[in-house]
Amino acid sequence: MSATVEFAKMNGLGNKILVVDMRGRADKVTPAAAIALNAHPDTAFDQIMAIHDPRAQGTDAWIDILNSDGSKAQACGNGTRCVVQALAAETGNKVFTFQTVAGILNAVEHDDGTISVDMGKPVFDWDKIPLAEEFHDTSRIELQIGPIDSPVLHSPSTVSMGNPHAVFWVDRDVMSFDLARFGPLLENHPMFPERANITLAQITSPASITTRTWERSAGLTLACGSAACATAVCAARTGRTGRKVAIHVASAKPPGILSIEWRDRDDHVIMTGPAEWEWSGTLDPSTGSWARDQAQGAEAR
């Protein structure tokens, strides 16, 4: 077995993704390798999407997802779009079915290059999100940051999109909040036994929302697909919008848009947006040492 595998540096609305080809191998990308890769500015990432041979009949691949701290992630919508783009370019196929720890994901690449991912059904039960306390209605839970009589953030909507999310509704520019300060406190709040992704959301019209997210185990990221899905679902559930919205990701560079539809007929959440290839190379999945493809330069670490 070769010590190295091929990988691509990609992004989904700026969400930094490493797509690693682990097909035909029995090993995995190790947490130590993930941490080493994230330590270098050229390979720093929000998620690693490691493509493994399929485990279930009827699927195209098993996707193992790692956060930048080496921990496992359950879902990554922006990363899934990057996997689709990479495999579509390789195979010519447009339709894919992936298996992850969060379940089965179906995806399709459209003629205009955008990619739709079926993120499945949202989960609202307090013990399945999960929350540490029982709430009959998880569309608004008791949680706040700041003074009791004038909280900075309060009463988030909570949901699982394969991973736990808390969405705080705000009435001003989401970039005006010190999310770098509040994010770690809320991610690790005792209310969230498995920690949570924290999103600030401003309703800008009945069909559009602006968001910014502190991502669990990754921190401030330029975009988070599952958070966009969580926000759209929670907005519709609380009557703030309809079931199809444009999510304007304020922190994306440049700011970008994800189209989210919470389908009536089956309650599945469909996310549509772009993916972008940046460069490719090889890496050691055990140590994280890497080299850029020679055609793109000889830099190696």
The tens-digit pLDDT sequence of the chain (301 residues) is 789 999 999 999 988 999 999 999 999 999 999 999 999 999 999 999 999 999 999 999 999 999 999 999 888 899 999 999 999 999 999 999 999 998 899 999 999 999 999 999 999 999 999 999 999 999 999 999 989 899 999 999 999 999 999 999 999 999 999 999 999 999 999 999 999 999 999 999 999 999 999 999 889 988 899 999 999 999 999 999 999 999 999 988 788 899 999 999 999 999 999 999 999 999 999 999 999 997 655 455 5
What global pTM score does this model have?
0.91
Interior angle at CA 12, CA 189 and CA 264, nearest 5: 75
The rounded distance, in Å, linking the Cα atoms of 178 and 290 is: 35
Contacts for 269 with CB less than 8 Å, ≥ 6 apart: 118, 119, 120, 121, 122, 161, 229, 232, 233, 260, 261, 262, 263
Q: Which sequence positions are flagged as catalytic?
A: 76, 224
pLDDT computed for residue 163 by the predictor? 93
pLDDT computed for residue 294 by the predictor? 79
Distances in whole angstroms, Cα of residue 165 to Cα of each of 69, 191, 196? 19, 12, 5
Contacts for 265 with CB less than 8 Å, ≥ 6 apart: none
pLDDT computed for residue 253 by the predictor? 78
